[in-house]
Every structure is written in C-alpha cells, then in structure tokens.
Amino acid sequence: MTMSSSHYHSLKLTHTHSNSKDLCSIHHTMKVVRATSFLLACLLVSSSLLDSTMAGSSFCGSKCSARCSKAGLKDRCLKYCQICCDKCKCVPSGTYGNKHECPCYRDLKNSKGKPKCP
C-alpha cells in the first residue's frame, strides 16, 4: 500500500501541529506553576514579616506605655519611645533614667545631638 505524497504531507502537518499544541500547553502549564510558586513564596515571606512586626509592636507598645505613663507630653514620649524601641528592641525600666539597661536606646541622638529616646 503506498501513500500519495499529498496524503503523506497532510499527515506530517497534522502530527507537527499536534506536537506544537502539546508543547504550547506544557509551556503554559509551566508558566502557571512558576507564577503560583512565586506568589505563594511572596505570601509566606510577607506573612512572616507581618507576624514579627506585630509582635515587636505589642512589645514596644506595652513597654513605652509604662515608660511614658508619667510624661507631661505623653503623645510625644510615646512616639519617640516607639521609634527607639523599634530600632533597639528594648526600653529601660521605669518612667525615667535606667538607660544603662539599654545602651542602644541611651545612645540614639536627634539631629541636634541630644538624646532622642525618653
């Protein structure tokens, strides 16, 4: 049984076209998998950063509330205490002094060279 050349050419094109469709489908699937993996990784990283930020905020919030409880300008005290705590991860005990407990907190200065942290 012999095939005519036009019939053979038609079969070859169909086979090539089918392979091309399969490759496009595989390529598309791989793109989707990569994009999904990337988004999942971003979600995990942002979630862990949010958890550590929230934990730090509650720590600093409670420490600064205690530190600033007797301050005349409470809002200002809380603002700068929070900035210092976020940077140093500690707040000295009591409402005044004790800065030796947290050298980072003690050593932070404002633009005029004066202590930044209450």
Cα separation of 44 and 86, whole Å? 23
Instruction: Please report the DSSP string for 57-92 in residue order.
Output: HHHHHHHHHHHTTT-SSHHHHHHHHHHHHHHHS---
pLDDT band, very low/low/confident/very high, at 38 (cuts 50, 70, 90): confident
pLDDT band, very low/low/confident/very high, at 37 (cuts 50, 70, 90): confident
**Quick one: DSSP state of residue 106?**
H
Cα separation of 85 and 116, whole Å? 11
Q: Which residue has the higher pLDDT, 74 or 13?
A: 74
* Residue that the structure tokens 């720590």 belong to: 59
pTM of the model: 0.53
Mean pLDDT of 15-33: 65
Residue from 49, 50, 76, 51 nearest 64 by CA: 76
